[in-house]
Structure 1
Amino acid sequence: MPIQLGLQRMVQLLKHLGNPHETFCAIQVAGTNGKGSICSYIYTTLLQAAIKTGRYTSPHFFEPRDTIHMNGRAASKEMFETCYKRVMEIDKRFGTNATEFELLTATAFECFCQAGVRVAVIETGLGGRLDATNVFESPLLSVISRIGKDHEAFLGNTLEAIAREKGGIFRENVPCVIDITNKSSVLRELEKVAQEVHAGPVYLASAKETNQAQTWSVTSPSWGTNDFQTSLNGSYQGANVACGVYALDVLTASFPLMIPHAQNGIKNTIWPGRLDFREIPGVGKVLFDGAHNQDAAIELANFVNLQREKNATKSVSWMVAFTNSKDAKSILDSLVHPGDTVYVTQFSSVHGMPWIQSMDSKVIQEYLSKKQIRTILVDPKNKKESLCSAGSQNPLSVVCGSLYLLGDMYKILNLE
């Protein structure tokens, strides 16, 4: 079933399941870019403090069950199938007609319940106010990452309208952490929503760069000023680290968290497919990044341009595929330089979501050809061979445009 925003089906489904989401504490994270990294920072840190923790993020990377993590691992195949089967049976018995995302979300909550998870970090799927994850009456904390334009057909055509939808996760007397790098109009809208529902206190999370690589100085409410290093690439990770640190600081009111827990957790966080460099045998250095919207594309472009300068690399090989709803032209305009080579392909069908389709490769080829960019059509069955060819063309290859493409490539290349 395609995207259908609204909470009625989800509330009914959870009720018939026995409200498994009421058995654990929730931390809700919404936004356009960076929310997955923030979820992972918080999740990994809570594990450092020996707190039984779950994490639910989307979309899936390899298969649906990898959206559900508990205590450092994806849900086992047995647990996932047992919980998913129960959710499906309840959905059918009571005729709730839940969407695939609602079924998966309910499965995550059922897994957390069965595993005895104490706290779960929940990433909003789309928007916030009407998203299937927004069923917690009193979460521990609400976090909003960087907001940009994406899914406008569902969320609105302005940043302010989108911000209001994202702010729909705010609850009365629940603390809010907001990425201060958001535009001032977005911050005003989010603060306005928080006031309307009497949420708060509201914290604007910020970070300062240090002289040490991938290390940021964060001054949080009770921990004061501390440095935090991350293994994740990208200057934008400073804002994500800040949100994670502020969130963890606020959580000290509920859990025995200390600064070393956060420093170790953030340093040891792994989040594949986001400015993720890998050395591939027979190919060379490959950078993988989802970059599925304009803001993410700009950040990827900035990072790749630094690599061009640092390594005196004039040209780059790109392998791309896009969901057919994305503004691929704008994304490509941000990324591709004259002299680059673009390998255009399509990702595999997405399990359980037949409405998600890969954009026609020929549409992208036609657009790039008009811009006189060398473009090569890639048969989806020959992605690995084409990546090898890309590696022989240029010293840096980048795979981007969709996490579904990255999932395909990680499987093909046996990456984790």
Structure 2
Amino acid sequence: MDQITQILDRLLALHPKEIDLSLGRMERLLAALGSPHTKLPPVIHVAGTNGKGSVTATMRAILEASGKRCHVYTSPHLVSFNERIRLGHDGQFVPDPLLYDALHRCEEANAGSEITFFEITTAAAFLLFSEHPADVVLLEVGLGGRLDATNMIEKPLVSVITPVSMDHEKFLGNDLAAIAAEKAGIIKNGQPVVCAPQDDAAIRVIERQAARCKSSLQVSGQDFQAVPDHGRMVFQDQDQLIDLPCPALGGAHQFDNTGLAIAALKAAGLLPDAATLSQGLRNVRWPGRLQPVGHGPLLDICPEGAEFWIDGGHNPGAGVSVSRFMGELEERSPRPLYLIAGMLVTKDPVGFFRPFHGLVHHVGTVPITTTNTGRSPEELADLARCAELEATPFQSLDAALADVAACAKADGVPPRILVCGSLYLAGEVLVRNGMLPD
């Protein structure tokens, strides 16, 4: 076991719960570390249920195209913990020696006190970001916002709220308004806010919080928009109209995500000229989200001509976006769609699967081997059937793929395969196929 794994295992054991939302432990640890969160480059803070990673990746690509150095904090990771922390001096994931040093210093400063894994690793990210040069910090909320460990930032350049939907109800509340109130907790006095399109219950809460904080609020679809236009994308707000390439990431929802990223950078005073903006949009990468697989050992064992996609979305909102994208593919190029799904026990499989009704030929459910919090294939298959999908449990990804191959051979039509339901599962597939994030 390497040093990083050892120290991460020790940090995991510091609190009996994986999630315990509070800011008190962060305040204590950051004070012991010399308050690194007060010594960061300017911060753009991103909360929301779905799309945080895509919006953050889009902002990073645009900023880097304009010559800016970005520190980036995202979670969870797909394969390696290092993916959560990207340092602006070279734009790469934090290397092991720097990561170990920061984690070790946080462990020593914490002195064995109770603290969650996310809190102490967020403190390590703040430590790294305070000690290495960059122009901007792109800071993604872990869970919720109001009591999230990242919410120690007092004056972000801009607060960004992506689409809010039902997820993590046990921690955030049982209705959309309660969840939106937690997300809106990142809004800070007098600092601008940009917001994705929201359901009425969510936007009312966000508007009230922005008004309380005397923060200007811009809402997608009202104050700005990014829409397809003859094979291109047009971004428009009250000041300008910009002709741009379409989003590099798949799915109609990426137009809203891209518009939100552009509006956020504009609110922060960091939007480059149209040519640089276009260059940045072409460079956006965000692994494990509607990611096509064009080669590799997994594709080699699929039927000839098969399409293979990976997506880590895992809540009802993600189910809507991903199923819509698969429906668009079906309209353009019909072929049977097979889902291979694995999900955590904390997620809502019926809500995720329901939007796929009428679109999916069959669901194969598989275990997730990199966590002990995954649902059994048998239970997940039962829940897929509750969403009126045909489903069969398998004990491995290979067995599920072999079943798809047998069905495709009998049908005589190359299949479309989507591995979905969990970022853990997406990470396993990327490792198996030799497609490590970079």
TM-score, normalized by length of structure 2?
Answer: 0.86
Alignment of 1:394-413 (within 5 A): 394=408, 395-413=415-433
The percentage of counterpart residues that share the same residue type is 28
SS in 2 for 1:342: strand
Instruction: Flag structure 1 segments of 5+ consecutive residues without an equivalent.
Output: none
Change (3 A) 1:251 1:340: same
Change (3 A) 1:170 1:321: same
Structure 1 match to 2:195: 178
Conserved in 2, the CA contact under 8 Å of 1:319 and 1:345?
A: yes
Equivalent of 2:98 in 39, 58, 79? 79
| Whole-angstrom CA distance in 2 between matches of 1:256 and 1:323 | 38
| Whole-angstrom CA distance in 2 between matches of 1:370 and 1:256 | 46
Alignment of 1:376-387 (within 5 A): 376-379=392-395, 382-384=396-398, 386-387=400-401
Equivalent of 1:134 in 105, 126, 151? 151
Equivalent of 2:407 in 393, 398, 408? 393
Conserved in 2, the CA contact under 8 Å of 1:319 and 1:344?
A: yes
| Whole-angstrom CA distance in 2 between matches of 1:211 and 1:13 | 50
Structure 1 match to 2:8: none
| Whole-angstrom CA distance in 2 between matches of 1:393 and 1:78 | 48
Change (3 A) 1:369 1:226: closer
Conserved in 1, the CA contact under 8 Å of 2:370 and 2:428?
A: no
SS in 2 for 1:218: strand
Structure 1 residues 306-349: Cα deviation after superposition (integer angstroms, max 9, x where no partner):
22232222x22211011101111232232254872222112123
Conserved in 1, the CA contact under 8 Å of 2:337 and 2:359?
A: no
Does 2:184 match 1:162? no
SS in 2 for 1:207: strand
Amino acid at match of 2:57: S
Structure 1 residues 278-297: Cα deviation after superposition (integer angstroms, max 9, x where no partner):
12333232111122011110
Amino acid at match of 2:323: A
Deviation at 1:226, TM superposition (A): 3.6
After superposing the two structures, state which structure 1 stretch, 330-339 or 182-191, moved more.
330-339
Structure 2 match to 1:187: 203
Change (3 A) 1:368 1:164: closer
Conserved in 2, the CA contact under 8 Å of 1:220 and 1:245?
A: no
Alignment of 1:1-400 (within 5 A): 1=15, 2-24=18-40, 25-71=42-88, 72-91=91-110, 93=111, 95-179=112-196, 181-198=197-214, 200-205=215-220, 206-213=224-231, 215-220=232-237, 222-252=239-269, 255=270, 257-279=272-294, 280-283=299-302, 284-313=306-335, 315-337=336-358, 340-350=361-371, 357-368=373-384, 374-379=390-395, 382-384=396-398, 386-387=400-401, 389-391=403-405, 393-394=407-408, 395-400=415-420
Aligned CA-pair RMSD = 2.1
Give the number of equivalent residue pairs.
Answer: 401
Deviation at 1:212, TM superposition (A): 3.8
After superposing the two structures, state which structure 1 stretch, 44-53 or 367-376, moved more.
367-376
Conserved in 2, the CA contact under 8 Å of 1:384 and 1:413?
A: no
Change (3 A) 1:267 1:112: same
| Whole-angstrom CA distance in 2 between matches of 1:161 and 1:364 | 28
Deviation at 1:406, TM superposition (A): 0.3
| Whole-angstrom CA distance in 2 between matches of 1:109 and 1:37 | 22
Amino acid at match of 1:275: L
| Whole-angstrom CA distance in 2 between matches of 1:186 and 1:370 | 28
Instruction: Flag structure 2 segments of 5+ consecutive residues without an equivalent.
Output: 1-14, 409-414
Amino acid at match of 2:139: I
| Whole-angstrom CA distance in 2 between matches of 1:338 and 1:121 | 37
Deviation at 1:389, TM superposition (A): 4.4
SS in 2 for 1:157: coil
SS in 2 for 1:143: strand
Conserved in 2, the CA contact under 8 Å of 1:145 and 1:240?
A: yes
TM-score, normalized by length of structure 1?
Answer: 0.90
| Whole-angstrom CA distance in 1 between matches of 2:217 and 2:359 | 45
| Whole-angstrom CA distance in 1 between matches of 2:242 and 2:251 | 22
Conserved in 2, the CA contact under 8 Å of 1:222 and 1:249?
A: no
Change (3 A) 1:334 1:99: same
SS in 1 for 2:229: coil
Deviation at 1:193, TM superposition (A): 0.4
